[in-house]
Amino acid sequence: MSEETGSRAEQRARTRRTLLDQSRRLFTEHGYGGVGLAEIVAAAGVTKGALYHHFDGKPALFRAVLEQVQREVGAAVAGAAEARTDPWEQLTAGCRAFLTASTAPDVRRIMLVDGPAVLGWNQWRALDESSSARHLEESLAALAESGILRPQPVAPLARLLSGAMNEAALWLAGSGDGQDLEDVWSALSRLLESQRRSE
CATH number for the domain that contains residue 14: 1.10.10.60
Half-sphere exposure of 64 (CA within 13 A, CB side): 17
If asked whether residues 31 and 119 sit together in one domain, one would say no
172 is in which domain, residue-wise? 59-194
What CA–CA distance (Å, rounded) separates 96 from 29? 25
If asked whether residues 74 and 86 sit together in one domain, one would say yes
Which residue intervals of the chain are DSSP H helices?
Answer: 3-30, 37-44, 48-54, 58-82, 87-102, 105-106, 115-119, 121-128, 134-145, 154-175, 179-193
What CA–CA distance (Å, rounded) separates 81 from 90? 4
pLDDT in tens, 95-141: 999 999 988 889 989 998 899 999 998 888 888 877 777 888 989 99
199 domain-assigned = no
Residue 199 has a pLDDT of 64
If asked whether residues 17 and 95 sit together in one domain, one would say no
Residue 19 has a pLDDT of 96
Q: List the chain residues with pLDDT less than 70.
A: 1-6, 176, 199
pTM for this model (two decimals): 0.87
Out of 39, 55, 71, pick the residue that ends a domain: 55
Residue 5 has a pLDDT of 62
